[in-house]
Amino acid sequence: MFYSTIIRKAILFASLGVLCVAETYQEQYRDQYHFSPEKNWMNDPNGMLYHKGVYHLYFQYNPGGMTWGNISWGHATSNDLLHWTEQPIALEVRKDAGGNVQEYFYSGSAVVDTENTSGFGTRGHPPLVAIYTSHYAQNMTLPSGKTVVSGQESQSIAYSLDDGMTWTTYDAQNPVIHEPPTEYITADTIQNFRDPFVFWEDSQKHWTMVVSLPNDHMVLIYTSPNLKDWTKVSTFGPANAISGQWECPGLFPLPVDGDKNNVKWVLQLGSNPGGPTIGSGTQYFVGSFDGTTFTADADTVYAAVGGPAGSSVVEDWQDTSSLASSTAALNWTATGDFVGITPVTGEDKVSNVLDTYFHGDSNTGAITSEAFVIAKSFMNFRIAGGYHPYNPSTYGTPSDTETSLNLKVNGKVVRSATGQNTGTLAWQGWDVSNFANQTAVLEIADFNTGATGWGHLIVGEILFSESLAEEQKANWVDHGPDYYAAATYNGLDGYDRVAVGWANNWAYGSDIPTNPWRSSMSVMRKYSLATIDSKITLVQEPYNLAPISSTCYDKKWDTLPGSQFDLPVTGKSLDVTLAFDIVSTINSSAQEDSTMRLLVRSSKDGSHATVIGYDASTQQFFVDRTNSGDVNFAPVFPGTYSAALIPDAHGRVTLRVLVDWSLVEVFGGQGESVITAQIFPSDDNESISLSYTPGAFKNVYIKVKDVASVWK
């Protein structure tokens, strides 16, 4: 039986929450300055709205447990985007008399209907209107007379007349968008049509909605005069990263380089899986919007990239008779279970691949090429199979469980790649310019038995090239694994745009070792657009942390002593700025890349730490969490994540590193490249240190700020 959803403000509940918060928010792994609910499961941020001096954060929430289910809208409020008060549930899952779910409240947005276009309030007392996806769990006829089927997704609205504290669903007409337009209706789109983001388009004097057809990789754009009656006016997509579902779209304007006479529009999208690393990710497009149609700028859309023109073959597995043959591009030597393995026909039924599945995932061993000379600046290859990265601490030991393609120079692994827990081959590549004309070998290492899934590797053609191949080039908002479903605030002044993302990943989100809650949000981020390397780029910076931070260490060096330095400070919640100039990109005497590493949440001996680094040879920064603490709860969790970061016009590199009890967020340069990654370190690991290639860096500066808990 359906009913109007009205949640009464529970003042007693809220006050009790404040009284017990000091004890509740001190559990192991509980982030101290990132929002998380007191208990239970949370995912996407929803309905983000600034109204009458209050920031509202609604979110996907399970009121009854620590895994996904009973999806409702949780609610928290803040006056400063730092300190949060959890409020009663805003929109709660609907169930029938037998306790069976009828309707889930999926992701959406919220607006202030200032002109009372909806008629739910008055101009003097305008309503707040939430727009969300109704996911129906039963075949039903609704109070509006509309029929829905189990699994159907439609767009509905609710309104609030008390500034967002209680909500009434518009059951007389819900859903206000019953199904996709006729030309897009399929069995799939009936069940995958979700995540509306709505805003007022002042130039056209109408409401605009962007909503996703996830598996079609398409955003539909609707307009409405009153938030009740909607007309589809245009579409966008597919484009760029399309290997996963498109979810949680957002569309908003931003000035370029602060110039309000040069405004561009940003379309932001979740991609799951098919992110930049493993599982979930968030991409964006820059373009123009005329009130009905979004048009992406040419330089923000990329054609699918395969092997670059002018590439030369290192190996293409065309000789299927043997790994060691005079007609093969390279002769390979197998060990372990792979002796006698031969290439097989690939997924495209044309090219061949080497697949270490052979007779099953339990096979282990290595397959090593003959020596060859590195002839070009890049090596590109297609790769699939298990995500079990090379780990230098276990390599060559009985504890090695990698499934990796490794490049070895002088017996040392200098580049490595792994699969993405999928059988679909994707292009990856390495910059090997630092090893030009040196002798190398390739190693296909598979020491994973498949006990935790995907215990094999698939390798397609391997090429020498003068540019990098990318399977699905995209503009990634965040290059780490833990920034998804990002959403921005409605109701801010002018072009101000503050965003937050779910700091988790669908690949392992239900497995992270937290209790009695599961998942935090990212830090609030201020979005802007800047011209970087001649391209308009989304730039992010943490929202003001000054009220809760204080400097505890500030140091400069013209040149660093030795190769390692332990900072005389410790901490679990930090804001660290590290900047330096590059002297050289490679240590020729040691034949290794020039790398600066910052170890945080580290054991005293450095054996366990989260490592944030910059590789001057590849102009990339990275986050390595392979030895960060508890990494064994999911096989895809340990890994190293990297992003391009070109030194600024003065040759300087700047990294800002936010560290919390179970999260790191690294902002490179002006914030044009960001990596967010969860970590689960031991409580005892609070040390901080630098390690670096001797003589490779100068004018090094580090500032460490202690960040206070917002829960105490």
29-50 per-position pLDDT tens digit: 999 999 999 999 999 999 999 9
Tokens matching residue 67? 């895994």
Write out pLDDT tens, residues 524-573: 999 999 999 999 999 999 999 999 999 999 999 999 999 999 999 999 99
Secondary structure letter of residue 326 according to DSSP = T
User: What pLDDT does residue 472 have?
Assistant: 66
Q: Per mean pLDDT, which of 310-319, 385-394, 534-543 is the most reliable?
A: 534-543
CATH number at residue 618: 2.60.120.560
Q: Which residue has the higher pLDDT, 24 or 514?
A: 514
Burial state string for 474-508 with b = 16 or more CB within 10 A and e = fewer than 16: bbbbbbbbbbbbbbbbbbeeeeebbbbbbbbbbbb
Q: By C-alpha distance, which of 69, 66, 72, 79 is closest to 36?
A: 66
What is the domain range of residue 268?
11-304+477-527
Q: For residue 392, what pLDDT band results from cuts at 50, 70 and 90?
A: confident
pTM reported for the whole predicted model: 0.82
Which element (helix H / strand E) includes 442? strand 439-446
Q: For residue 7, what pLDDT band results from cuts at 50, 70 and 90?
A: very low
6 domain residue, yes or no? no
User: What pLDDT does residue 40 have?
Assistant: 98
Q: For residues 575 and 632, what is the distance between their CA atoms, to the nearest angstrom?
A: 27
Tell which of 440, 465, 490 closes a domain: 465
How far are the Cα atoms of 48, 431, 563, 585, 586 from residue 590, in angstroms, in the given order? Answer: 52, 19, 13, 12, 9
2 domain residue, yes or no? no
User: What pLDDT does residue 415 have?
Assistant: 87
Q: For residue 326, what pLDDT band results from cuts at 50, 70 and 90?
A: low
Q: Which residue has the higher pLDDT, 244 or 363?
A: 363
380 domain residue, yes or no? yes
Looking at the structure, do residues 402 and 496 belong to the same domain, yes or no?
no
* Pairing of β 517-518 and β 40-51: parallel
Q: For residues 7 and 130, what is the distance between their CA atoms, to the nearest angstrom?
A: 14
Residue type, 543: Y
* Rg of the chain over all Cα atoms, to the nearest angstrom: 26
Looking at the structure, do residues 559 and 488 belong to the same domain, yes or no?
no
Q: For residues 31 and 49, what is the distance between their CA atoms, to the nearest angstrom?
A: 23
In the numeric block, the tokens 């990494």 are attached to 631
The number of distinct structural domains making up the chain is 3
Q: By C-alpha distance, which of 224, 71, 196, 177 is closest to 130?
A: 196
H helix and E strand count, the chain: 2, 50
Q: For residue 470, what pLDDT band results from cuts at 50, 70 and 90?
A: low
List CB contacts of 406: < 8 A, sequence separation 6 or more: 390, 413, 415, 416, 442, 443, 444, 445
Q: For residue 147, what pLDDT band results from cuts at 50, 70 and 90?
A: very high
Calculate mean pLDDT across residues 615-624.
Answer: 94
Residue 515 reports pLDDT greater than 70: yes
Q: For residue 8, what pLDDT band results from cuts at 50, 70 and 90?
A: very low
Catalytic residue among 44, 216, 361, 482: 44
Residue 15 reports pLDDT greater than 50: no
Write out pLDDT tens, residues 250-281: 999 999 999 999 999 999 999 998 788 888 99
Looking at the structure, do residues 485 and 558 belong to the same domain, yes or no?
no
601 domain residue, yes or no? yes
Which element (helix H / strand E) includes 369? strand 365-369
Write out pLDDT tens, residues 281-300: 999 999 999 999 999 999 99
Write out pLDDT tens, residues 329-366: 889 999 999 998 888 887 666 788 999 998 889 999 99
Looking at the structure, do residues 402 and 509 belong to the same domain, yes or no?
no
Percentage of the chain surpassing pLDDT 70? 94
CATH number at residue 338: 2.60.120.260
How far are the Cα atoms of 30, 39, 369, 534 from residue 520, in angstroms, in the given order? Answer: 8, 11, 45, 35
Residue 10 reports pLDDT greater than 60: no
Mean residue pLDDT of the chain comes to: 92
Looking at the structure, do residues 116 and 202 belong to the same domain, yes or no?
yes
Residue 320 reports pLDDT greater than 80: no
Q: For residues 351 and 606, what is the distance between their CA atoms, to the nearest angstrom?
A: 45
Looking at the structure, do residues 240 and 261 belong to the same domain, yes or no?
yes
Looking at the structure, do residues 571 and 552 belong to the same domain, yes or no?
yes
Write out pLDDT tens, residues 132-144: 999 999 999 999 9
User: What pLDDT does residue 3 have?
Assistant: 33
Q: For residues 231 and 178, what is the distance between their CA atoms, to the nearest angstrom?
A: 12
Cis bond leading into 175, ω under 30°?
Answer: yes
- Extended strands (E) in 503-629: 517-518, 525-532, 535-542, 549-559, 564-570, 574-582, 586-587, 592-593, 595-602, 610-615, 620-624
Tell which of 445, 465, 485 closes a domain: 465
Tell which of 434, 465, 496 closes a domain: 465
User: What pLDDT does residue 512 have?
Assistant: 97
Q: For residue 18, what pLDDT band results from cuts at 50, 70 and 90?
A: very low
Q: Judge contact between 292 and 234, C-beta under 8 A.
A: yes
538 domain residue, yes or no? no
Long-range contacts of the stretch 529-534 (C-beta < 8 A, 24+)? 529/254, 529/255, 529/256, 529/257, 529/264, 529/266, 529/286, 530/256, 530/257, 530/670, 530/672, 531/256, 531/257, 532/669, 532/670, 532/672, 533/646
471 domain residue, yes or no? no
Looking at the structure, do residues 649 and 629 belong to the same domain, yes or no?
yes
Looking at the structure, do residues 270 and 348 belong to the same domain, yes or no?
no
Looking at the structure, do residues 297 and 322 belong to the same domain, yes or no?
no
Q: For residue 664, what pLDDT band results from cuts at 50, 70 and 90?
A: very high
Q: For residues 412 and 441, what is the distance between their CA atoms, to the nearest angstrom?
A: 10
Output phi, psi for 194, to 5 deg: -155, 175
44 domain residue, yes or no? yes
Is 44 annotated as catalytic? Answer: yes
User: What pLDDT does residue 187 have?
Assistant: 93
CATH number at residue 126: 2.115.10.20
User: What pLDDT does residue 279 have?
Assistant: 84
Looking at the structure, do residues 233 and 85 belong to the same domain, yes or no?
yes
Residue 116 reports pLDDT greater than 90: yes
Q: Judge contact between 94 and 70, C-beta under 8 A.
A: no
- 368, β-bridge pairs: 333, 443
Write out pLDDT tens, residues 399-450: 999 999 999 999 999 888 888 777 878 888 887 887 889 999 999 999 999 9
DSSP code string of 17-43: HHHHHHHHTTSTT--SSS---SSEEEE
Q: By C-alpha distance, which of 577, 556, 595, 568 is closest to 700?
A: 556
Q: For residue 452, what pLDDT band results from cuts at 50, 70 and 90?
A: confident
Write out pLDDT tens, residues 671-680: 999 999 999 9
Chain Cα centroid distance, residue 92: 27
Q: For residue 586, what pLDDT band results from cuts at 50, 70 and 90?
A: low
Residue 592 reports pLDDT greater than 90: no
532 domain residue, yes or no? no
Q: For residue 305, what pLDDT band results from cuts at 50, 70 and 90?
A: low
Looking at the structure, do residues 231 and 130 belong to the same domain, yes or no?
yes
